[in-house]
Amino acid sequence: MLHIALWEPEIPPNTGNIARSCAATGATLHLIGRLGFQLDDRSLRRAGVDYWNEVEVHRHDTLAELEAACPGAAIYCLTTEATQLYTQVAYQPGDVLLFGSESRGLPEEVVARYAGRAVTIPMPAGRVRNLNLATAVGIVLYEGLRQLHHW
């Protein structure tokens, strides 16, 4: 099993799409820090998240709480500032894939904390700054699953 961690996600439909990917794959979803939306039933329904009960979701106020919830896990930070590609990692069960907020990404101090495990998705055309959060999660999650299940 892999863990998907979102640092202060802002857009409910993105988190909803990511939750759907977690439900489909059995990945655990962790939401860290201040959220840009409510987690009540009405807000989730409006975002199209009708399968929220199918996802194992953990809410953490701080990064330290995430670390305590996943003791010993390798935490990989996804950032456009990294040079190591997400495909160059040998993922293991229990690894955490940590993604930043839609508008700000991950704070520099968070990326620095896991500097040896900062990875990126290449965008060779150079025409865009970054990918949609849900798209990026799907790309990296399925690479990890491909490796773990030898697909």
Q: Say which CATH number the domain at 144 has.
A: 3.40.1280.10
Task: For residue 123, count other CB atoms closer than 10 A to its CB.
Answer: 12
Domain that includes residue 7, residue range: 3-149
Q: What average pLDDT does range 86-100 have in this prediction? A: 97
99-129 pLDDT per residue, tens: 999 999 999 999 999 989 999 999 887 788 8
Say what percent of the chain tops pLDDT 70.
93
Count the helices and strands in the chain (H runs, E runs): 5, 7
| Structural domain count of the chain | 1
DSSP three-state, residue 44: helix
CB-based contacts of 87, cutoff 8 Å, min separation 6:
143
Least confident range of 54-58, 96-100, 147-151: 147-151
Q: Which two tokens stand for residue 138?
A: 């799907």
pLDDT range class, residue 11, cuts 50, 70, 90: confident
